[in-house]
Chains A and B, each alone.
Chain A
Amino acid sequence: DGGITQSPKYLFRKEGQNVTLSCEQNLNHDAMYWYRQDPGQGLRLIYYSQIVNDFQKGDIAEGYSVSREKKESFPLTVTSAQKNPTAFYLCASDWGTEAFFGQGTRLTVV
């Protein structure tokens, strides 16, 4: 089955630690995206990549980093510089029009 897989589903992080969220797709999509969702708010774009080895900052990139070494993979690292990292993180991919989403990762800072 084609789709987007995010892991883990739930992630707990201690303050001051970096964590990496995984996103893998087998849809052969060129573009991949990371969004952050907070309660009562819409989806805000963190980073996006339209091609391997290239990525662009979105609207709220501070405190996050990404890499795109393979077409299928677009991991997101939440660094200790992100002051309020507790949120629901969504990965998406598309080939230019309709975006498809993964199941999300809920990150909680403890």
Chain B
Amino acid sequence: GQQLNQSPQSMFIQEGEDVSMNCTSSSIFNTWLWYKQDPGEGPVLLIALYKAGELTSNGRLTAQFGITRKDSFLNISASIPSDVGIYFCAGQTAGGTSYGKLTFGQGTILTVHP
């Protein structure tokens, strides 16, 4: 099946630092989604991207849909302790039986030291 390579696998940063993570794929996606998961909870949608080249912000979060449609990145500015969690990228293709199914990256575990 399709695979997404998400990096880095983990990050340990100081409060106030900026964070950047990205996902790359061998396949083209027509939607990129970024989720955050707190321990023992379900993932929560942070940002959705629908168009190649699109740059979208949600507070301190900024995400971009790569021009090639095979990659996306997420930036978090001025990190705070509550940013701790696992961040997942997810790509969605269209057509046939694949429509609506998401392919998830392996996740980036973020730790923020006060």
Residues of chain A touching chain B, judged by Cβ–Cβ distance below 8 Å, are 4, 6, 31, 33, 35, 40-43, 45, 48, 50, 56, 58-59, 88, 90, 92, 94, 96-104, 106
Contacts and interface: CB of A to CB of B under 8 A. Distances in A.
B101 A45 contact: yes
B92 interface: yes
Say whether chain A's binding surface is mostly helix, strand, loop, or mixed: strand
Given A96-B99, A101-B35, 14 more contacts: A6-B42, A35-B104, A43-B104, A56-B97, A88-B40, A90-B42, A92-B42, A99-B33, A99-B45, A99-B90, A100-B45, A101-B43, A102-B42, A104-B41
A13 to B, nearest CB: 18
Interface string B99-110: 111101111000
B95 interface: no
Contacts of B1: 59
Nearest to B90: A99
Nearest to B88: A42
A20 to B, nearest CB: 19
A92 B33 CA distance: 14
